[in-house]
Amino acid sequence: MKKILVAIDFLDCSVNALAHAVSIASKAGADIEMIWVNMPDNSKDIFKNDPETLLIEVEKRFKELIEDFSPEMGNGKMTYKIRDGKVYTEIIIEAEESNADLIIVGTHGSSGFEEFWIGSNANKIVSSSTKPIITIRGGIDIQKPLSRIVLPLDSTVETRQKLPFTTELAKLCGAEIYVLSVYTTKISEVRYRVDTYTDQVIEYLEEEEVKFTRDAIEADNLTKSTIGYAERIGANLISIMTEQERTTANLWLGPFAQQMVNHSPFPVLSMHPKELIRSLTR
């Protein structure tokens, strides 16, 4: 991994997301680029500044964040970018232009500015970008080390696309992957497919010498069941796909990813199934 892009609105949730990014970057030797998107109708509500002095205040706060977090960065460096336009559009464009390997976004705000990152913006970033994205809701304890990653598997081919990136992240952080077969139907052919994909994932992890635990659950509600399992094992991250084909009886749909991003008490790593995910190491 060479670069992490972090969306910043200077509220606690985005600073929390930045701390999470720093913890990963310090292990990977990666750089961090922070991005703030100027929306003229709303940005003045955060800072209570006149438009003429707004950018001066933004740059001041960026420099304060760099001063606070740089000592934890190891060999990586911190920079920032200011863009004008729609939040999710500019973040996606910047991720492409800066060749970021990972995007990290806080998904809960306060002080009357909640919709800057929460809801439609966060979900649009997750669903539209081809980059791996970690979303972190406000209030998550950032001090916990990334040690347990839940990797739920369904019956679709795309479910395995998140494996290489998740594996490299586990290697960087010394984390254990909990390979979770999720059954939402009694149809034997579908359950067999889940088991087959799980076997393939286990074989990959063994070859990569990554610590793992294999488990399985029956699920009526995908989001609640996955989160419930993550809570039981004390997970630090859930790795999912954003949306998959709709032709089988056992699959992750787009609404599942949306619910997970909005409601998970754990950071969520989301990946787009239409693109092959690049490895953290090139």
What tens digit of pLDDT does each residue of 75-106 get? Answer: 999 999 999 988 889 999 999 999 999 999 98
Instruction: Give the span between the Cα atoms of 263 and 237, in whole angstroms.
Output: 13
Backbone angles phi, psi at 258, to 5 degrees: -65, -45
Q: pTM for this structure?
A: 0.87
**How many residues are present in the chain?**
282
All residues at 6 or more sequence positions from 148 whose CB lies less than 8 Å from its CB, including other chains:
175, 176, 178, 233, 234, 235, 236, 237
Confidence band for 40, pLDDT divided at 50, 70 and 90 = low
The C-alpha angle with vertex 272 and arms to 268 and 274, in degrees rounded to 5, equals 165
Instruction: Number of helices (H) and strands (E) in the chain: give both, helices first.
Output: 9, 10
Say which CATH topology domain 3-136 has.
Answer: Rossmann fold (3.40.50)
**In the chain, where are the structural domains located?**
3-136, 148-268
Backbone angles phi, psi at 207, to 5 degrees: -65, -35
One fold for both 3-136 and 148-268? Answer: yes
Contact in structure between 29 and 74 (CB atoms under 8 Å) = yes
Instruction: Give the span between the Cα atoms of 17 and 34, in whole angstroms.
Output: 11
pLDDT tens, residue by residue, 184-206: 899 999 999 999 999 999 999 99
32: helix, strand or coil: strand
pLDDT tens, residue by residue, 106-138: 886 333 334 444 445 777 788 778 899 999 987
Please give the CATH superfamily to which domain 148-268 belongs. Answer: HUPs (3.40.50.620)
